[in-house]
Structure 1
Amino acid sequence: MALDPAPLRALRVLDLSTGVAGPYAARVLREAGAEVLKLEEPLGDPMRDWSASYKALPPGEDAGLFQFLNAGKQGVPCDLTTADGLEILGKLAAEADILIENFGPLGFAERKLGSLQDDHPHLSIVSISWWGHEGPWATRPANEWTLQAAIGMTARRGYPERGPVACGGRFGEWSAGSCAAVAALAAVQSARQTGRGDHVDLSVFESMLLCMTQYHTLDGQFRPELLPAYVECPSIERTSDGWVGLACVTPPQWEAFCEMMGRPDWAENPKLVSADERMKIRDTLHRDIIEWMAARTTEEVIEAAALRRIPVAPVGDGTNFSEMEQMVARGLLEDAPGGFLQPRPPIRLHGIERMPLEAAPARHPKPGAGFSSPRKVAETAISTGAKPLSGIRILDLSAFWAGPMCTSTLAALGADVIKVEAGKRPDGMRFVNTMPLENFWEAGSIFHGANLGKRGITIALDSEEGADLFLRLVADADIVVENYSVRVMEQFGFTLERLQSINPRLTLVRMPSWGLDGPWRDRVGFAMTIEQSCGLAWISGYEDRPLTVNVCDSVGALHTTCGILMALEDTRRTGRGRLLEVPLVEPGLTIGADLIIEASRGNEIPREANRGPLGTPQGCFQTSDGEWVALSVETDVQWKAFAQAADKPDWASRREWQTSAGRRKDQALIETELASWASAHAGPEAEQILIDAGVPASIAVNAHRVLPHPQLEARGFLEDFEHIFTGRMHYPTLPWRPKFAADGWYESPPPTLGQHNREVLSASLGLSPDELDSLEEQGVISSKLG
């Protein structure tokens, strides 16, 4: 069967960015067919020489992660500090749709990039910076690691007696890159409607708040007490022959785990349904868990847990992916042109061609390269400036976090999202992190955060009448999104063929944990399970214990959002819908690409607690007032400036500490010195000394104390809504600022259960009040739990 062209083949992108976030956003577009030119200044992208394994590269060879991020792009030398460089950029901008950059607010101004849109009004610019271009903290020193402390993630992770511990990897930057890809695609659609491009100002800090916390800024309003340090129980456990990853998110999963362990008394304690309550007696629980696991192999634990539908997976360490039958059966890893293994593209539009595997641009490319053929940008009439997805209708069957976050993002972009739940079994996130209210299922902070801007209805899909109602709604929908276990849609009879027989333009979006086929297709999986299997947890945590990272739901949501925007572009061109498949495991593998790449080259990425390749020294140190300050010295210049500001001239003058390599050899001694220095200062004072010296630093803020925050207030990241049960709340939105959202991202707070039954079913299906009453009496629809 012939495959159709990739949906973004007409899109042209200029990638001026370095690092992870910008290049990854451009890669996502390239994988869907866009033509991408990578413009490099004379010093080149530092990622060419960067490796998380600390291994030196052969002369002239590019790092594997650089090659992965920039595969398929064409290199263009361009010195933007010169008139010739600006002329080259101007000529290319005349034919481009999107420009991606991360020079920061000062670098953006120095290179006069703002004037590009005066000359080329069709062009959209996506600017990625740590804090955003506007606001009082716009130029404040930061990196991904210190931002983890600023969002409350570092203080939340780990055991209290061992101190806070950040995630390994650069997952915040991958998250920001995923956000930037969505922002770019939305900007393209907006430019098509208005005839004018946009300058999209994206904050990595806000991206990480959205993606790496469980809506803790909102949860702190629901439950104002301090949020304690936390490790799931059970989680990553030693077996007789290795490690296994488990998760107990729902009460049935915890009960099944207790039964598997032979501990019915645990199940009889109602408090232990809560993961936070289990954390309080973790030592007691863990003694029995350690003993039980140590008596069994990893495969035996997996078999027992999977039989009980407990989320479970082997723990990936970079070397054992070829032993995981699901990854082998679905071909999730492939050979890259650079001679290493890499994850395949995570977004799969069925029936669409894949772009060929191509190398990244070489160092020092020849000048004169450009887009494949000249193109004059079409002038279009200016419209009213509606949001890019205005007029698009989405039926949202998804639950928990990844699916709802995806559809809430689409609602922010203007889509009419109708959330479909069952009165007897609504979205499970309604029951997590709730306020102590009579209607507690209307007061779950994660549910609130992931369901803004939607209308909510209830339908008993397992009834004949309910299935008929849903299929009638399909007739006017553009997208159906679901993240059930694979077998559920077939049990309802909602196959792609049946849905498209009603509406050929419909795209069915499926977000299973492991994929629609393969030996693990029917296994239950949550974000923690994905992080365990993909190796993200392996490089995070203490040296003797890996910890999950809390990012796969949100990253899966953003990749699915990208896939939907691509699918809508394909439908605009062809008039047909598609099957879109984005299993959670595949974005998980993608953001852990450096582990896969390095392992295939025989290198190991160490798990180092708070140390890491971004800075030396890098760590979390307790201050005199009991706070912890996170610091990351990225350069030798920063080290000297910090030594002077700290009144420690011997730190700067000591010859072996004047280079990053020398400081790395003496990390333990330097950390002892830093611990002593920090203990003599209060947290805010220590933080300010570091910031004034130009060193990325942050107090490890409690996640429930991030708000109020001057940068978030200045940029309008929070929007206020009055909810019928919880009152007025400050809701986190999206981490970029386009023109079309100048008046706000969302139209409404999250829906109560069945809130819009009558509104939607009468307007869309023409049901009368008597018919709606009858459906309520039969239990087909309901606005009550149960």
Structure 2
Amino acid sequence: MTAAAVPADMAPLDDYTVADLSTGIAGAYCTRLLAGAGAVVVKVEPPEGDGLRRRSASGTVSPPGEDGALFQFLSCGKQSVVADPADLASVLDLVAGVDAVVWSPGSRLADLPELHPTALHARFPALDVVALTHFGLDGPWAGRAATEFTLQAWAGAIGWRGLPGQPPVSVGGRVGEWAAGTFAATALLASRRRQRIEPGGQILDASVLDSVAVSLTNMHPVTWFAEAGSARDPRPVSLLPGIHATSDGWVGFMTVTGQQWLDFCALVERVDWMDDASLGSAVERERRRDELTAHIDAWAATRTTAEVLDLAAVLRVPAAPVGTGATVPAIDHFADQQMFVETPRGGFVQPATPYRLHGKVGLPPLGPPPALGEHTAEWVRRSTQARPGPSAPHHRTPSGRLPFDDLRVVELTAFWAGPSAAQFLGMHGAEVIKVESPARPDGMRTLSTRSLDEERWWEYAPLFHATNTNKLGFGLRLDRPRGPDLLVDLLDRSDVLVENYSPRVLDAWGLGHEVLRQTNPGLIVVRMPAFGLAGPWRDRTGFAQTMEQASGMAWVTGFPDGAPQVPSGVCDPLAGAHAAFALQVALAVRDRTGEGMLVEVPMVASALNVAAEQVVEYSAYGVLAHRTGNRSPAAAPQNLYRTSDPLDDLGGPRVAISVETDAQWSALVGALGGPEWARGADLATFAGRRGREAELDARLEAWCAEHTVAEILDLLWTAGVPVGRVAMPHEPERAQFTSREFYEEVRHPVEGTTVVAGWPVRFSRDRYDMHRRRAPMLGEHNRYVVTELLGMTADEYAGLESAQVIGEGLGLDG
């Protein structure tokens, strides 16, 4: 494609208009991402405004006319139109002029039957409609009462997380809703690209439950269970080493590799641990938790957080300060890289957009959040010119084409975040070529269900199988003389490179973006370093847990009187989804200009955005969020409760109950039979219930102890009370997942049949399996890449094999 002239004021998505009919965090963050890339997002609100305008996790009441800090952050760059539910025609007129709608139930507007996603799509078949709901639009649980807390319970996100001797604990900060918004935005741009192939919209059915299952259950537990025959985490677990108190705060560690454990032993001055081979096993370390923790705590307590981090950096031990709403923006790397900016209208600090475009077209300046109804008159003028009626029925034969059918993607990633970004592209049609070294392949292969002395043990890797479907495998040694040249030849024939090495690695191989664009100016290079391509932490090693520690996610997870706890893994799929979104923004630019670009998606940047609420609330109000265990600043009562079922070896069974509204409280009282203790007038209000949480917990604990899980679910769900069973994450047979076919069976020639989770957003058009091709074996498609794509002869192929530049399977000489 010939490069086109680029208008000076062009923004990537400035030709895309979205109506936001949602309420809550998920829809708001979905459209915040779109607005951040330049899309015109018009928030359609009832006269009282979106309830999110009044939300405050700290309970701070904003002055009249001033919106809450979270709403302001999530609404930067959007427009606001007020529409009375009685004036449905005006809303339909507005929708007739947009490209997409983001919808969720829960407002007087969105709950109108005519604005339900199925009704909107029937009236406007060219429209893409995102439907964000707790359980999805269909299935046996669709429409049932839930909160993000009860969804965590159902998904297994609570059951596996915790410390020995304590109840399981939920992840703080409503992360599941932020994840759902990210997945929805990423899916919406894919659907937009699908319309380039053949016009016509669809319903994008986004389930928060599915989002929690993908992001908060730690590395595909259902796949592991299917292949290993047992759970990887059969009981609540926490990192060791994990988060430890220093003399002036908290510091977190994350040792993944054997070398990192040895380096950590050197850090805490325990050479004897290095000599104890048994401690190379996480299972053994857990067995000796008390012994190890006592020394680590004592060692850390005599040092400042900065001293510990400096020592860890020298030894390349992944470590981070445990950030809080007060401290995160001032962390040196975040300040240096301007990862926080001032809110245009509110004047407080908020996270910057979670990715950067390095090209002729960048991201637009951050616009202010809109006042309620600020743009109503403008949109009324637009719609009075003509009032379209319902669109004619639009019938079509599916073309079989997928959104990314025209893309070839080269993937140089490992573990979870990078592979999940490329996997999304493969799910939706891209040819993804995963490049691995036969000497040092993706580290996920080392997490095998077989011993290392078994033949092809690296092909029995559940976590690799779960994150690498729909890919081809190319076994290439980039540390051999011909290796980088072969990769450049492949990239010259490709559209996208996705990589998540340390920043210095590509440059060391001579594969920086400026070099690659010389021969392929249309190439989009997506780089996903832990902390970014520049700054004080540029070369530090980091994993998902490191991001959770630094961003503040860990600070709000755990019990009030205990140490912070990491969500443990959520930042991997979040980073992958943000990278897939950012890539599509760059593709939108290339479609209009013909030019590729470098896209920088630091893993920590997505974490900072998802953890934004505690930062913006502290900056705006001076109120510091804290850990609340299984309680919530937005629900009362909320907690886990044991039932009358026979005691299991995890101290359960338990149910999760969460009451967010006065109507739900009234329903709960009715389901309990209207006991005298629940009739107090003060309990009819949220403030009254918050003041008596301990008493309410005791009452519900006693009531649940007299009923089984099945009885509690039937009574409370029938009454409309959010409730969930505290499941374990490896359980695939939960009715909603089964009904929606969320888990798909995949055949592997070595492993056999495995089970892999799908994508949290279902596409109504051209329905297809997410996992049409199983994960590749190491170097499985070398011949296709070298002879068919690169056009080399059989003799040349044999020469590359002989020189060990390419290889199949593990074991080439180092």
TM-score (structure 2 length as normaliser): 0.92
* Structure 2 residue aligned with 1:614: 634
Letter matched to residue 576 of structure 1? E
**Which stretch has the larger CA shift, 233-242 or 222-231?**
222-231
Report how many residues are paired: 782
CA distance 1:108–1:468, shift in 2 (3 Å): farther
CA distance 1:756–1:366, shift in 2 (3 Å): closer
**Which stretch has the larger CA shift, 647-656 or 48-57?**
647-656
Q: CA deviation at 1:62?
A: 1.0
* Structure 2 residue aligned with 1:64: 69
Percentage of pairs with the same residue = 40
**Contact between 2:246 and 2:300, CA under 8 Å: does it hold in 1?**
yes
> Counterparts of 1:3-18 in structure 2 under 5 Å?
5-18=10-23
Letter matched to residue 506 of structure 1? L
Deviations along 1:113-150, one digit per CA (max 9) or x if unpaired, are 53333443221111110110011111221111111111
**Structure 1 SS opposite 2:62:** coil
Q: CA deviation at 1:502?
A: 1.6
CA distance 1:55–1:224, shift in 2 (3 Å): farther
**Structure 2 SS opposite 1:545:** coil
* Structure 1 residue aligned with 2:24: 19
**Structure 2 SS opposite 1:590:** helix
Whole-Å separation in 2 of the counterparts to 1:207 and 1:276: 29
**Which stretch has the larger CA shift, 277-286 or 534-543?**
277-286
Q: CA deviation at 1:692?
A: 2.1
* Structure 2 residue aligned with 1:40: 45
1:408 aligns with 2:423: yes
CA distance 1:199–1:176, shift in 2 (3 Å): same
TM-score (structure 1 length as normaliser): 0.96
Letter matched to residue 191 of structure 2? A
Whole-Å separation in 2 of the counterparts to 1:202 and 1:291: 47
1:354 aligns with 2:379: no
> Counterparts of 1:477-488 in structure 2 under 5 Å?
477-488=494-505
Q: CA deviation at 1:372?
A: 9.6
Whole-Å separation in 2 of the counterparts to 1:576 and 1:409: 23
Residue from 649, 658, 664 that aligns with 2:675: 649
**Contact between 1:172 and 1:204, CA under 8 Å: does it hold in 2?**
yes
* Structure 2 residue aligned with 1:97: 99
Q: CA deviation at 1:365?
A: 4.4
Whole-Å separation in 1 of the counterparts to 2:736 and 2:106: 15
Whole-Å separation in 2 of the counterparts to 1:117 and 1:60: 35
CA distance 1:534–1:316, shift in 2 (3 Å): same
**Contact between 1:37 and 1:370, CA under 8 Å: does it hold in 2?**
no
Whole-Å separation in 1 of the counterparts to 2:659 and 2:398: 49
* Structure 2 residue aligned with 1:583: 602
* Structure 2 residue aligned with 1:777: 802
Q: CA deviation at 1:760?
A: 1.9
Whole-Å separation in 2 of the counterparts to 1:14 and 1:408: 29
Letter matched to residue 461 of structure 2? G
* Structure 2 residue aligned with 1:546: 564
1:735 aligns with 2:760: yes
Deviations along 1:185-226, one digit per CA (max 9) or x if unpaired, are 011111222110111111111111112222112122123334
**Contact between 2:420 and 2:468, CA under 8 Å: does it hold in 1?**
yes
Whole-Å separation in 1 of the counterparts to 2:450 and 2:674: 49
Deviations along 1:25-69, one digit per CA (max 9) or x if unpaired, are 111111111111100123421111111112222233211101111
* Structure 2 residue aligned with 1:74: 79
**Structure 2 SS opposite 1:560:** helix
* Structure 2 residue aligned with 1:200: 204
Q: CA deviation at 1:261?
A: 1.9
Residue from 473, 481, 484 that aligns with 2:490: 473
Whole-Å separation in 2 of the counterparts to 1:147 and 1:435: 33
Whole-Å separation in 2 of the counterparts to 1:410 and 1:269: 44
* Structure 2 residue aligned with 1:557: 576
Residue from 299, 306, 318 that aligns with 2:313: 306
Whole-Å separation in 2 of the counterparts to 1:145 and 1:25: 20
Whole-Å separation in 1 of the counterparts to 2:581 and 2:267: 40
* Structure 2 residue aligned with 1:318: 325
Q: CA deviation at 1:317?
A: 0.7
Whole-Å separation in 1 of the counterparts to 2:797 and 2:662: 70
**Contact between 1:536 and 1:548, CA under 8 Å: does it hold in 2?**
yes
**Which stretch has the larger CA shift, 270-279 or 527-536?**
270-279
Q: CA deviation at 1:438?
A: 4.0
* Structure 2 residue aligned with 1:283: 290
> Counterparts of 1:414-429 in structure 2 under 5 Å?
414-429=429-444
1:666 aligns with 2:692: yes
Whole-Å separation in 1 of the counterparts to 2:619 and 2:373: 27
Q: CA deviation at 1:2?
A: 9.5
**Structure 2 SS opposite 1:154:** coil
1:235 aligns with 2:254: no
**Contact between 1:35 and 1:371, CA under 8 Å: does it hold in 2?**
no
**Contact between 1:200 and 1:736, CA under 8 Å: does it hold in 2?**
yes
**Contact between 1:108 and 1:114, CA under 8 Å: does it hold in 2?**
no
**Contact between 1:37 and 1:371, CA under 8 Å: does it hold in 2?**
no
Whole-Å separation in 2 of the counterparts to 1:265 and 1:175: 42
Whole-Å separation in 2 of the counterparts to 1:208 and 1:421: 30
Whole-Å separation in 1 of the counterparts to 2:456 and 2:62: 59
Q: CA deviation at 1:366?
A: 6.6
Whole-Å separation in 2 of the counterparts to 1:152 and 1:273: 28
CA distance 1:280–1:153, shift in 2 (3 Å): farther
* Structure 1 residue aligned with 2:649: none
1:50 aligns with 2:55: yes
**Which stretch has the larger CA shift, 385-394 or 222-231?**
222-231
Residue from 474, 480, 501 that aligns with 2:518: 501
Residue from 339, 353, 366 that aligns with 2:347: 339
Whole-Å separation in 1 of the counterparts to 2:708 and 2:794: 64
Q: CA deviation at 1:445?
A: 2.2
CA distance 1:481–1:367, shift in 2 (3 Å): closer
**Structure 2 SS opposite 1:68:** helix
**Which stretch has the larger CA shift, 103-112 or 584-593?**
103-112
Whole-Å separation in 1 of the counterparts to 2:806 and 2:335: 43
Whole-Å separation in 1 of the counterparts to 2:503 and 2:215: 25
* Structure 1 residue aligned with 2:734: 709
**Structure 2 SS opposite 1:100:** strand
**Contact between 2:135 and 2:143, CA under 8 Å: does it hold in 1?**
yes
Segments of 5+ residues of structure 2 without an aligned counterpart are 1-5, 646-651
Whole-Å separation in 2 of the counterparts to 1:272 and 1:369: 66
**Contact between 1:4 and 1:353, CA under 8 Å: does it hold in 2?**
no
Deviations along 1:459-489, one digit per CA (max 9) or x if unpaired, are 1011121111111101111000110011001
Q: CA deviation at 1:533?
A: 0.6
CA distance 1:425–1:117, shift in 2 (3 Å): same
Whole-Å separation in 1 of the counterparts to 2:301 and 2:688: 41
